[in-house]
Amino acid sequence: MYDDNPTLQGLNKEIDESKQGEVFFQEQLSKPTGNKHFYIESYGCAMNFSDSEIVGSILSEVGYAPTQKMEESDLILINTCSIREKAEHNVRQRLSVFNKVKKERPGTLIGVLGCMAERLKEKLMDQEKLVDMVIGPDAYRDIPKLVRNAEDGDKGINVLLSREETYADISPLRLNSNGINAFISIMRGCDNMCSFCVVPFTRGRERSRNAFSIVAEATDLYNNGFREVTLLGQNVDSYKWTNPETQALVNFAQLLELVAKVHPDLRIRFSTSHPKDITDEVLYTIAKHENICNYIHLPVQSGNSRILKLMNRTYDRAWYKERVEAIYRIIPDCAISSDFITGFCTETEEEHQDTLSMLNWAKYTMSYMFFYSERPGTRAAKKYKDDVELSVKKRRLQEVVDAQMAMSYQLNLADIGKTFKVLIEGTSKKSDQDFKGRNSQNKMLIFPKKGNYKPGEYALVKVTSATRATLKGEIVQ
Ligand code: SAH
Ligand code: SF4
Ligand code: F3S
């Protein structure tokens, strides 16, 4: 789920299918409980959406209830993304809209949260005069204090990054919840230093959350009717948490198993896997548990070894292919998706062809595809020249998008006649006679409502036809 993604298939399930591409995402509300109201918009990856729920929880403790109407809120928050230039541009546009509201209602406070707050720090306050608070991803516990100060007229900033903060004890306020799918953050930060990427600078060092708190959150969600959790981290395969009492180490495979055992009817997804770190142990754990979905998001970025080296991805084409082979060997019906960056520094036409051939070889069911956007402060910005013409970057991106569309369609056609266990997520946008839901492989299915089936239940659905983005079918049981 990325903010400026020009791709085909659904973003994350939490996001309305119709809002693909430009995601302006207004979070829905649960019932207001306090006297004051906050309004929050989230951009960027799933981690940001998950963080907004932590922020919501912290604010509700001090009497702020969520609202959908920014004109009626006392506090307008925007949880921002810095991953590409366009992501930041979108945020600036939204800030100018908020500022108009503030002019009408001078008491309204505006706070910038997330990665752009962390990247730009005070500069953001100087550039955007009407911003009252700038709060980085590890400083959300400080929000009540910063809000109080801002109410007294003191603009506030806290962008300190932490080596420990995981918000493990905070029970997220489920904003925009359909009551079925939920995110659980299992770690924060990233230690990988891919040369193009701003995340290590905006999110700080990698740290893993207490495994017991993760299992407790999953159990709580199940008991409240949720049927699918997505475990989130920038590199989930490097999850490791040491139990301070026993010194026992929990790795990602073991964490997956612990969460899978919460209940057989609770589906487990996870994102993002890193090709250098995904182990056979993880793959065998997925294969062993029916409720761990057979779907792996394994971003390749480029299919060419020289470019991968420049990107500091720490794997090459051969290594990546070996991991894909291991996935298909150990979990034969697994679906794999990817991320791509086209036109990275010095990429030649031939190297771009390697990316296209990788896409066709790995048979991704969907991908998030981007052209390279230089980010200040990253290793690539410091060391390499951003020398591929914008028009070439865009043309290569289009070729990758076209290849992915053809691949998604081909793979969807191959599903016709198959029967899948589908978690019903709700009524289809296009027709209130139809349900929508996803199979283990994360493909969206649309099928006529039948009998007493309700959202949150599983149905066996036989696929009868396919488009590039969805499968159509009917309940067979
Ligand atoms: N942790 C994940 C990715 C997080 S960022 C991983 O390692 O796969 C999400 C995606 O944004 C990346 O996979 C990459 O494809 C894209 N991206 C990151 N930085 C970018 C940049 N500078 N320009 C274009 N795309 C970028
Ligand atoms: Fe960025 Fe690489 Fe970390 Fe992903 S693994 S967040 S691309 S540095
Ligand atoms: Fe964007 Fe920050 Fe996520 S830069 S992609 S919101 S970690």
Separation of alpha carbons 369 and 6, rounded Å:
7
Q: How many angstroms separate the CA atoms of 260 and 268, rounded?
A: 7
* Residue spans per domain, the chain: 36-158, 181-412, 419-475
Q: What own/partner pairs with CB < 8 Å and gap ≥ 24 does 331-334 have?
A: 331/283, 331/286, 331/287, 331/294, 333/294, 333/440, 333/441, 334/286, 334/294, 334/295, 334/296, 334/441
User: Of the ligands numbered here, which is closest to the C-alpha atom of 355?
Assistant: 1
Of 192, 205, 272, 338, the residue with max ligand 2 atoms within 8 A of its CB, to mutate for a pocket test, comes to 192
CA nearest to 338, candidates 367, 313, 359? 367
- Inter-residue contact 7 to 403 (CB < 8 Å): no
Cβ atoms of residues 121 and 141 within 8 Å? no
The number of the ligand nearest the C-alpha atom of 272 reads 1
d(CA 98, CA 108): 9
Are 36-158 and 181-412 the same fold in CATH?
Answer: no
Alpha carbon distance 405, 403 (integer Å)? 5
Distance from Cα 220 to the centre of ligand 3, integer Å: 27
Contact 117, 82 (CB under 8 A): no
Q: Identify the residue whose C-alpha is closest to ligand 2 atom 4.
A: 234
Closest to 308 in 3D by CA, of 349, 338, 269, 340: 340
d(CA 269, CA 229): 6
Instruction: Give, using CA atoms, the residue closest to atom 1 of ligand 2.
Output: 197
User: What DSSP letter does each residue of 89-150 carry, written as one string?
Assistant: HHHHHHHHHHHHHHHHSTT-EEEEEEHHHHHHTHHHHHHSTT--EEE-TT-GGGHHHHHHHH
Residues linked to residue 184 through DSSP beta bridges, in sequence order: 231
Residue ranges of alpha helices (H) inside 164-316 are 199-203, 211-223, 252-260, 280-288, 305-310
| CA–CA gap between residue 180 and residue 221 (Å, rounded) | 9
Q: Please tell me if the CB atom of residue 197 comes closer than 6 angstroms to any atom of ligand 2.
A: yes
In DSSP terms, which residues pair with 453 in a beta bridge?
none
Domain 36-158 has CATH 3.40.50.2300: yes
**Residue ranges around ligand 1 (CB below 6 Å):** 2, 83-84, 196-197, 199, 234-235, 272, 274, 299, 301, 339, 341, 370, 372-373, 375
pLDDT in tens, 11-56: 232 333 233 222 333 333 333 345 899 999 999 999 999 999 999 9
Domain 181-412 adopts which CATH fold?
pyruvate-formate lyase- activating enzyme (3.80.30)
H/E stretch holding 98 reads helix 85-104
**Sequential pLDDT tens for the chain (477 residues):** 444 433 222 223 233 323 322 233 333 333 334 589 999 999 999 999 999 999 999 999 999 999 999 999 999 999 999 999 999 999 999 999 999 999 898 889 999 999 999 999 999 988 878 899 999 999 999 999 999 999 998 989 999 999 999 999 999 999 989 999 999 999 999 999 999 999 999 999 999 999 999 999 999 999 999 999 999 999 999 999 999 999 999 999 999 999 999 999 999 999 999 999 999 999 999 999 999 999 999 999 999 999 999 999 999 999 999 999 999 999 999 999 999 999 999 999 999 999 999 999 999 999 999 999 999 999 999 999 999 999 999 999 999 999 999 999 999 999 999 999 999 999 999 999 999 999 999 999 999 999 999 999 999 999 999 999 999 999 997
Q: Six-digit token pair at 469?
A: 């983005």
Bridge partners for 236 per DSSP: none
- CA pair distance 443, 48, nearest whole angstrom: 23
Dist CA 231 CA 190 (whole Å): 15
What CATH superfamily classification does 419-475 receive?
Nucleic acid-binding proteins (2.40.50.140)
Short-list 204, 210, 222, CA closest to 168: 210
Would you say how long the chain is, in residues? Answer: 477
- Compute CA distances 229 → 19, 186, 270, 364, whole Å: 21, 11, 8, 22
Distance CA 260, CA 279 (A): 18
